[in-house]
Structure 1
Amino acid sequence: MMSNDPVTMVAALLAVMGVAMVIWLLIAAGLRECAASCLCLAGANALQALALVVRWLPESQWRTPGLIADVLLLGAFAMLHLSVPLMDDKPTRWPLLASALALLAALLTQLPTGPHHAAHHLVVNGAGGLFCFFAARNTVRLLRDRELRPALSRIFGLPFLVIGGLLLVRPLATLWMPDVPASLDTRGAFNIAWLWAALVMTLTVNGTLAFLLMLKLVLQIRRLTLRDPLTDALNRRAMAEAMAAEHQRVRRGHTYAVVLLDMDRFKQLNDTLGHAAGDEALKTLVEVLRPCLREVDLLGRLGGEEFCALLPYTGVAGAALVAERMRQLLETTDFRWQGRSWPLSASFGITESAPSDEDPTEVLRRADEALYRAKAQGRNLVQAVEAIDQPAQPPRPQSASGQGDPVAS
């Protein structure tokens, strides 16, 4: 049975906000990465609850309770707005937001307060609604960055829009319809409907933010299963899955190329400078190679010092250009470890897929054969092995290392 007592409804709101605050504090204590966002959400619920309590205090000649309640409410919605970018580990504009809150508080001190002064409530509710609209925008952007469908992204941003709408409806309703009670503790159909909507939306917003937090954690776990923890390149399993998916397009006429590379004299580097230097050299290699790749290309670590680049819609000629650019960039990299300089280089083997390849392992076998040739002919070279049923390719770019032709079939 629905309650028609506004005091009971406000008590229910206070209970929901109190429970949400405790839950977010517990989550913040257990999750270091999302602690700032969870603390913001706990603070938002606490400030909203405190604003409701303060609003019930008797007004003095200085109008202190009402003004404090309004400032607390603005702070609550500002923290709600900040929680979404913090959850996505994005920088926040604390100074700008604090300045805006200070200006709003100063403006409120100059406006007459009370339940029937619409200008005061339009400033408070309008600013709070604006914070909610920003939170809705940030939520949609966060979910789109996580490759969620646009329609679903908008659905999860909807609760913030509804909260913002509720904030704007109340002062506008009291302005346009004088019979609507402006105070929350007044009985009336509008008040009860508004409080029920506020209760449902408070639950929904906290649930939406809990979903965003869960989604972030799930994606982080998924990333750990697909990424090499040292270099952040794809791991062997992820590369195998990507190549299998790309190989399905070969029979539809789409070619892909593979660049297999192995760092030269890596064991000597480890023995001379230590394994920590070797780890740093591998991370440096990935940082150097990534700018050579397009958005559709993938780079993975197959194990040890061996890496693989998957180049969709690319033949041997294109792969040769990419591999040679990688080779040159790596060769000119100034790698230093504890004051000591060490030359970095790698050997490259390239090939492209062919319709006769039954699976990606045949493509990798040819790339591995080309890599073996590069190692045997002096290292720091690019070598290619073409599929039997592929037409001859145009001449490859020449090496800048002075060690001969960088690409040979």
Structure 2
Amino acid sequence: MNRRTLVGMLSVMVLALSYGCGKEEAPKPKPQAEAPKPVAETVTVRIGSASPLTGPQAHIGIDIRNGVQLAIEDLNAKGVEIGGKKVKFELVAEDDEANPTKATTVAQKLVDSKVAAVVGHFNSGASIPASKVYSDAGIPQISPSSTNPKYTLQGFKTTFRVVAHDDQQGPTLARFAVEKLKAKNIAVIDDSTAYGQGLADAFAATVKSLGANVVAREHTTDKDTDFRAILTSIRGRKPDLIMFGGIDPQAGPMVRQMAQLGIKAQYIGGDGMQTPNFIKLAGEAAEGVMASMPGLPKEQMPGGKDFVERYKKRFNADVELFAPMGYDAVMVFADAMKRANSADPAKFLPEVGKTQYQGVIGPIAFDEKGDLRNGPITIYVVKGGKWEALETVTPGNAPAGEKKPEAPKK
């Protein structure tokens, strides 16, 4: 074999070895990236709040609005999905000025704003006419505070409340006055509103049925602040107890004027005056005054302690009256929406009536009229410049957590 042939053969072998050893494997196909999960669509659900935000009852109306706002903030912070869509709740708050005519205007404004539900109104006189507007629009309404029985007796399927009504509160207060305080001669005054007159009428009827005397039945308005003429007339009847159906802007001055006129009768009223503001307005004359309030004392509410603390931190104010009820009303709506898988009022409204919800205030369920089932009522007394719970009653049931009341003033 000549040199040239040998070199050629070696070259071929080297090339073959080079090819066999140096060949790169074909790249493996990269795994396909997972398709991004679809992001849930976000929808805005508006919740209306209607209450007096200006005028002498604004402190109560703002308290309700704050409760609604806190609930909405809590829901948004937690994150809520309804029917596969993320929901952002939005507050639409309106001022009804505690005026029945303005209330219907506000109701229509909320309907036009496309709210899904309404928490309101504060006053029975506002809730009753406004409820027809919501009913006609098919929008559910929960009042955190309206106690006049007529509110839920109109036959509307959209009307609910999370407090006991005055056909429960009035008799409870009357039995306390006659059976516990031993009052025999009683004067009754109301502020001529649906709430005040309704409560006073229920109270007076029960007083008579228990054998006590209604020695005077007087009427004022929710704008008056001078009650000397009425009180002077009542003084001559020598009542041992005066009951007032109305709100604290009238109750406070009335109690002060009683003291100025030397009237020593026990003074008692309903939830509209069971506020810190009443004590401010009445001053030293507030001591010993008694009032009823639908619901448990805040410190006895299942979620009361936490709610009061968070409310104070958020708004730099103490709970005035119905903020916990406003908060729970929003949560009832949200719960109904989740069960219906829809924020459409036509779809979740039937679920509101089926509610079985454990709220800040306690268990919430409605009867066929939209009234709260087994709503408790608490009697309070002003002691040491603060409201102190005396007795809690569930209408129709035995009293719970009863304390012995102080004797009436002589």
Q: TM-score under structure 1 normalisation? A: 0.23
Q: Which has the higher strand share?
A: 2
Give the number of the structure whose residues are more often helix, by fraction: 1
TM-score by length of 2: 0.23
Which structure has the larger Rg over C-alpha atoms?
2
The structure showing larger relative contact order (alpha-carbon pairs under 8 Å, at least 6 residues apart) is 2
